[in-house]
Amino acid sequence: MTFWRGPVGGLGEVELVLPALEVVHLHDRGSRGGVMVTGENIPMSSYSGLWYGARPRLAEGRLSVAGQHAAISRRAWRASRKGRALRVWAVGREYKYRETENRRHHVLERPEAQVAMTRSSWKNPDVISGAAHGAADSVDISLAVLFEGVYTRNLSLSGALISAPGRLLARAGD
């Protein structure tokens, strides 16, 4: 099933696939979900995490970019949006992915580049659009589109508060 497909200037067609079962180990398919980005001229990126509704969430996430494992971390209890940003280390680069105006607007940034993304609706968008700035390249575009298919609501303060009981219960069970 395709969640979103569209042209990206200079890179051709890009597809955001959700659910992407091929990125989730067979024995994990009951509890984990996957999403991936493919395209004519961009590296494939994929993400798998625990299911939340119809999307994988950030908890226990696994990220792959251009066939390489990538690391992610976040600080859910920071007061500012920048402090709660998802930190990503992929293909020798360090990124931050954060909410900007509201839960429909996000930005993926590294020192040389920025990709701002907008969804027509937070939950079930018909349109996903973006704008690249600086030295943004195909890796940046692939990651920015990928995170539009991940449940990132807890990057906002209200989302972090709403998800707090679940996180605490999950840790108590460990």
pLDDT single digits (tens) 84-100: 788 999 999 999 999 88
Question: What is the tens place of the pLDDT at every residue in 100-118?
Answer: 877 778 999 999 999 999 8
Cα angle 55, 56, 62; round to 5: 155
Strand partners, 115: 108, 132
Output the DSSP codes for 140-171. Answer: HHHHHHHGGGSB-GGGSHHHHHHHHHHHHHHH
Rounded to whole angstroms, the Cα distance separating 155 from 106 reads 10
**Percent of the chain clearing pLDDT 90 (strictly above):** 43
Give the Cα separation of 70 and 40 in Å (integer): 22
So what's the pLDDT on residue 117? 92
Tokens of 58: 């950030």
**For strand 32-39 and strand 45-52, is the pairing parallel, antiparallel, or unpaired?**
antiparallel
Tell me the pLDDT of the chain averaged across its residues.
83
Residue 58's pLDDT is what? 84
CB 154 within 8 A of CB 101: no
Q: How many residues does the chain have?
A: 174
Q: What is the pTM for the complete model shown?
A: 0.85
Q: What is the pLDDT of residue 134?
A: 95
SS3 99: strand
